[in-house]
């Protein structure tokens, strides 16, 4: 018999200060969660199995949201594939080991559309997982997430530990990372265009040909849908979440340019990799459950531009 999540019970959000974790924290608060637990990196090293086990012994969470991960754009993934594989495996393994030992009822495991094969039929259905080679530029990260999905599946099969595994597309929103070395594409474009407009200069050269296609989802939509699934489901089959609509990187750049007021030229460096040619999720299962995003890409980008400008002003005020 299905039992909804008890919002009064202790819920540990791993990665509560990150983009996804902070949005899920807010969503759970809005729904009346009474005992949310977070820990900064300084307070808890999630890769350390012993430290995580002690944390669970002390705080005794009933539920866990696993939103912590080492993430980054193409360049970061190319530069440090071992880190993306090892760190994410270590985080997942530590959380699941402690959860099993301390009687956690259910884990919300946030995945990624990177798990699907590079030459995956489009849009990507859940059953296409492990049907072909991965995109080389983010293989380390994808392998770790696939291992996490399988760990969730096997923990349920062998031990009865419940997990819910939503797979979102490219994410953006408040608390996004704008660092030029490891930001994701939408945050990187917002930074580039706002900086160019403010400096009355041409925008920096952009990676790739602009032809690669990506699907984007606001993190607040992810949080709302993920919490709905967390409440309603208890088996670890993956479920794609997203708008089910993609855009080329060129189209995205042109939209960001328009919304920032940039009117200069766009330069593309075709010697740089595009990554996977297309990533668009089949969200039929999500739609059948009556779920779906509500924030349009244009509205979300407008919010991102405002957020980035405020972040710049806050940083100036601190210096």
Q: Which residues are catalytic?
A: 141
Instruction: Please list the residues that pair with 13 across neighbouring strands.
Output: 65
Q: Quote the CA–CA distance of 116 and 189 in Å, as a whole number.
A: 25
> Is 249 in contact with 211 (CB distance < 8 Å)?
yes
* CA dist., res. 25 & res. 105, Å (int): 18
CA–CA separation, 236 vs 250, rounded Å? 36
Strand pairing report for 35-37 and 216-218: unpaired
DSSP string, 213-265: EE-EEEHHHHHHHHHHHHHH--S--EEE-S-S--EEHHHHHHHHHHHHT--S-
């Amino acid at each position: 018999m299905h039992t909804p999540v008890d919002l009064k019970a202790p819920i540990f959000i791993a990665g509560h200060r990150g983009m996804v974790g902070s949005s899920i924290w807010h969503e759970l608060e809005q729904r009346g969660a009474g005992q949310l637990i977070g820990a900064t990196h300084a307070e808890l090293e999630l890769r350390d199995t012993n430290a995580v086990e002690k944390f669970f012994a002390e705080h005794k969470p009933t539920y866990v949201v696993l939103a912590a991960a080492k993430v980054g754009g193409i360049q970061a993934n190319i530069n440090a594939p071992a880190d993306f594989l090892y760190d994410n495996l270590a985080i997942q393994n530590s959380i699941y080991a402690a959860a099993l030992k301390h009687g956690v009822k259910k884990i919300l495991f946030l995945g990624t559309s990177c798990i699907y094969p590079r030459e995956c039929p489009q849009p990507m259905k859940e059953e296409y997982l492990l049907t072909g080679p991965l995109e080389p530029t983010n293989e380390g990260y994808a392998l770790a997430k696939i291992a996490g999905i399988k760990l969730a599946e096997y923990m349920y099969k062998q031990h009865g530990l419940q997990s819910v595994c939503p797979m979102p597309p490219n994410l953006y929103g408040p608390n996004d990372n704008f660092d030029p070395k490891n930001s994701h594409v939408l945050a990187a474009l917002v930074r580039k265009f706002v900086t160019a407009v403010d400096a009355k200069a041409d925008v920096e050269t952009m990676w790739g040909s602009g032809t690669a296609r990506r699907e984007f989802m606001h993190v607040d939509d992810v949080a709302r849908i993920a919490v709905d699934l967390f409440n309603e489901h208890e088996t670890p089959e993956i479920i794609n979440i997203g708008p089910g609509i993609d855009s080329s990187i060129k189209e995205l750049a042109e939209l960001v340019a328009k919304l920032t007021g940039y009117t200069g030229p766009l330069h593309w460096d075709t010697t740089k990799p595009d990554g996977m040619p297309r990533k668009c999720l089949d969200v039929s299962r999500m739609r059948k459950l009556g779920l779906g995003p509500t924030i349009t890409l244009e509205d979300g980008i407008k919010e991102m531009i405002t957020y980035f400008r405020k972040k710049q002003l806050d940083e100036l005020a601190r210096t």
